[in-house]
Each structure stands twice: as structure tokens, then as C-alpha cells.
A and B are shown apart, each in its own frame.
Chain A
Amino acid sequence: MIASLSPEQTSHCLSRLREWLESSCREELYLNLGEVKTLRVCCCHSEATNMIRRQLAWSLSTPVKHSDATLYFWEESRMADFHRRVLGLDFERDANDDYLMLVQREREKLIPFAEFTQNNSVRIWFEGNYFYAVRSMEPEELLKEGHLFVKQLYRAVETPSTHLIHGACVGIDGKGVLLCARGAKGKSTLTVTAMLRGFDYVSDDYLVLKKEGSSLFASPLYSIITLSPKMYNSLYADLNKAHFVSNSARKDKYVLDIESYDDRLQRHYPIKVCMFPEIVPDAEPSVVACAPQEKGRAITHMIHSTIGQMNDEGNSLSVRKLIGMLRDMDFYRIRLSPDIFRNVECLRSFIKQL
């Protein structure tokens, strides 16, 4: 269901919302997003701030006078009749309609700015600010989308030369490998094991990509990793400095805080090649260059992995920008054996000869 508002009506109801949230703010946090933007996070419930500190420890910054944007974060269940009381909109949410989008009419375009989903959240993006409500402050609820605020940060971090992507990055001596794959392809296991074996580390899942001239750099956002229970047990002894945060909402991954491994952490790390993990049972680990005709497929996979996660498929500007960032990179496939430590040594040998 879609409802359309004029720009004046949009501005009016969101001003009311902003006033209400500013007066309800319990604590402010500031996030340095990939050395690109500073985001002020305005939390209406103090129990949320611990979770933010755990998940985004590597992005926390000291307060700044002028942030680039504000993220307002609150619990929806504490705001009965949210749309009526705060937004001043009098519509009935149809029980059979689990999704409502508000769009603003501007010239000939309809610009979506607010989404209400029946079961979990309110999301509003307006004039560079982000309004986000969840059903409850339970850790599993906050991790419903895998990483806290990931869809808000995706929008917040965007500039003409930067983009948040679904990918991992490790490296040696300033030679980074950008790993990209959808779930259950071994991306987190490889990067976390590599970090534990002395590699430079940026991220196992989401990172900020920045293009500077012909060079590409990766910066972290999150200080958490997600591992399957099986991999967690395999790496248990080496993960002695990590802290358990939660199960993921799907209960298929453990979320661990690795803030204390900050001696391995790298920011603004140069990427030399892009790589796709493939799990190949009963085979030796190896790295194979993508043939020229495979490169388009590889770029498509990488872009789909990001914008599919972010529901940003319709944004051709994002797609074009990501193509521009990736098309000059060399692409490889790493074939992963069941032996995670041999996989890491294979990756180490490959990076050293780059």
C-alpha cells in the first residue's frame, strides 16, 4: 500500500516526529563511518546503547559539533498510534496489508521516504536523517537484519566515491583481498581464520568501499563477526578474546564481539584484487584467475550480493557506481577445501606473490 504526501505535508509531519524524538533522546553516540561521514545516533532507550557500542565499537567517535546526519532510534511498541499521534496521519493500517510506504510527490517523481512493516519496523529517510524503530530491544530483534542499522548506514555512508558493500576484506603488508559472496560460501570463516593467523583485517561481512583515483580502499564499520556454530567450535581456542553477543535472528549463526582484536584492524586498507570463495569438497585449496568472460559474471555477483541485501535493486545510480568501482579490478576464485587452516595458507601464498 502506498500513500502520497505533498512536500509540505511530509515536512510538517517529520518535523513533529523529530521534535518528539529529540525530547525523548536518552543518549547520543557518534559514529565515524569509514572515515567518510559522521553520524549522530540519538537513542530513546538507554538499553540500546550497549548493543550499539558492542556492534559498532570500531566506528564510535568522540562527539562532534556538526555531524553529517542523525539517526533516531526507538522502540515502536512504546509508541502506540505512532502514525496518528506523532506523524499526524490518520490512516488505518489494513490487517491484510503488511507493508505501507509513504511517498512524497515532487515534480513528476514519487520519492519513497517511509516504510512501515506490520511485524517489525518503521524506517524513514528524510533530508539526510534516518528514523528507525524496532519492535523491541531484544538482541535478536536488533540483529534481525544481520547487522545493526545496516540499511540506514548503507544510505548514510553513500557519497559519489564511497559505498557500503556486502563483502569481506583481509590482507598482508598492505595488499588487500576483497572477498564477496552471498551467505554460506565460507567468506566469514576464511577471513576470521586469516585474522587469527596474523592477517590484516578489515571486515568479515560489511565494509565501506572508497575509490580514490584508480585505487580502491576498504574501511570497517562493525566490530562483530558472525560464525556458524560449527566454525565457532573449530576456532574456539583461538577466539579467546572474543565475546559472545547473541544468536542471529535466524539462530543459524553466533554473533561475536571482536573489539579486543583491534591490533589486527586496518582502516582505509588498499584492495589489490577481488576474490570469490567456492567450497569444493575433496579438493586442494587453490586460487584461479577469472577468465575475461567471467569477470562480468563476477561483478554481477558482487553487486547483486550488496544491493540485493539492501533492497536497492531499482537504484541504477548505485549499480553504475559499483560497476565503476569494480570494473578495473582483477578477479579471482579461491577454491576452499574442508581444511580451514590450509585455505588460509593458500590465501597467504597468493597474496605474497601479488
Chain B
Amino acid sequence: MNYKLNEAKMFADVTDGIAIIINSLTGVYYGMNGLGTGMFDALLKGSSDADVLAAFQALPGAPADCEARLQAFIEKLKAFEIIVPASVASTAPVSLVLKDAVYDEFTPACNEYNDVQELLFADPIHEVKEDEGWKPEK
């Protein structure tokens, strides 16, 4: 399967090795880790998911579940509507950076930045009592 950027909705740029995507309609902002950026870049250049998987599996130290990790990443990109299926393919070789893969523990990631969600998931909510103030539970 081949994919391309969903140009009807998304703007994308790779700066300093990190992919940034913006939904031009909603303003929601996405950032990828280094491994995810390498895979995303390869997909946008016309490589198929099979080509990206082969390059992923060829990395020294790659885990046994490479295919599941890649598919989870691609499903996330599709769910965010960042990529859509494409008919144009490329035979250019896929090159993933081992250092990025090791740093990212062989897990490509795409994060949606949303202040409210980040706060809700970052930490439990603590109550502050008027008389004794807020004390974190140890």
C-alpha cells in the first residue's frame, strides 16, 4: 500500500529531523519522533508500507514485532487523517536511521498536541484544602 499527505487538510514539514504536521482546518498540531519521521518521510516520497517494513526489519536489533509496530503507526496517521491512500509509487530505497530507532526504542510515534488532553493524562488531580493547603501524596 502507498500513501500520500492528505493535502486537503494537512501541512507538513521536516525540520531538524522531526516531522511537524498541522491540520490547516482545525489548527491541531502533530509531532513525530525520529523513527516516525523517517518512516513518514519515506511514505511521502512514495515508498510502500512493505518497503518501509523491510527497512525497519533490516535495522540491527530490530524487534520481532516490527510489522505490528509499523502498522500501529500507520493506523494512527490514518486516524489523524494525516495520510491517505495513493496510487503513485516510488522504487527509491528506504533509509531509516539506526540511532533514531534505538533512541525511540524501535517504536515510531506521532503525538497530537492538545493542552487539555495532556493535562488530563499527565497527572492525577489533587484537591487543595483551604485550611491545610495541597499536599502531594507520597
Same complex: yes
Among residues of B, the one whose C-beta sits closest to the C-beta of A308 is B20
Q: Which residues of B contact A327 (CB under 8 A)?
A: 24
Contact yes or no, B135 A92, CB < 8 A: yes
- A335-353 CB mask vs B (1 if < 8 Å, else 0) is 0000000000000000000
Q: Which residues of B contact A253 (CB under 8 A)?
A: none
Partner-binding segment picked from B74-82, B92-100, B122-130: B122-130
The reply to whether the CB of A3 lies closer than 8 angstroms to some CB of chain B is yes
Among residues of B, the one whose C-beta sits closest to the C-beta of A303 is B22
CA distance A315 to B118 in the complex (A): 12
CA distance A101 to B118 in the complex (A): 12
The reply to whether the CB of A6 lies closer than 8 angstroms to some CB of chain B is yes
**Min distance, Cβ A168 to any Cβ of chain B, angstroms:** 17
Task: Tell me the chain A residues, 309-324 only, with Cβ under 8 Å from chain B.
Answer: 313-321, 323
Among residues of B, the one whose C-beta sits closest to the C-beta of A319 is B27
Contact yes or no, B20 A304, CB < 8 A: yes
**Min distance, Cβ B45 to any Cβ of chain A, angstroms:** 13
Q: What number of B residues sit within 8 Å (CB to CB) of A?
A: 35
CA distance A296 to B28 in the complex (A): 15
Once A91-B133, A112-B119, A314-B118 are accepted as A-B contacts, the answer to whether A299 and B15 lie under 8 Å apart by CB is: no
Partner-binding segment picked from B35-43, B62-70, B108-116: B108-116
CA distance A301 to B18 in the complex (A): 11
Contact yes or no, B125 A296, CB < 8 A: no
Contact yes or no, A297 B11, CB < 8 A: yes
Q: Which residues of B contact A320 (CB under 8 A)?
A: 26-27
Once A3-B134, A91-B134, A316-B29 are accepted as A-B contacts, the answer to whether A300 and B128 lie under 8 Å apart by CB is: no
**Min distance, Cβ B10 to any Cβ of chain A, angstroms:** 8
Q: Which residues of B contact A52 (CB under 8 A)?
A: none
Contact yes or no, B113 A314, CB < 8 A: yes
Contact yes or no, B7 A94, CB < 8 A: no
**Min distance, Cβ A351 to any Cβ of chain B, angstroms:** 25
**Min distance, Cβ A186 to any Cβ of chain B, angstroms:** 15
| Cβ-defined partner of B133 (8 Å) among A1, A88, A307 | A88
CA distance A5 to B119 in the complex (A): 14
Q: Which residues of A contact B115 (CB under 8 A)?
A: 112, 314-315
The reply to whether the CB of A173 lies closer than 8 angstroms to some CB of chain B is no
Contact yes or no, B134 A90, CB < 8 A: yes
| Cβ-defined partner of A2 (8 Å) among B20, B31, B114, B119 | B119
Q: Which residues of A contact B128 (CB under 8 A)?
A: 3-6, 9, 89
17 additional A-B pairs beyond A182-B15, A319-B22, beta carbons within 8 Å, are: A2-B119, A2-B125, A3-B126, A5-B134, A89-B128, A110-B116, A112-B115, A112-B119, A293-B7, A296-B7, A299-B11, A313-B113, A314-B113, A315-B27, A315-B115, A316-B29, A318-B27
Residues of A bordering B, CB below 8 Å: 1-6, 9, 88-92, 94, 101, 103, 105, 109-110, 112, 182, 293, 296-301, 303-304, 307-308, 313-321, 323, 327
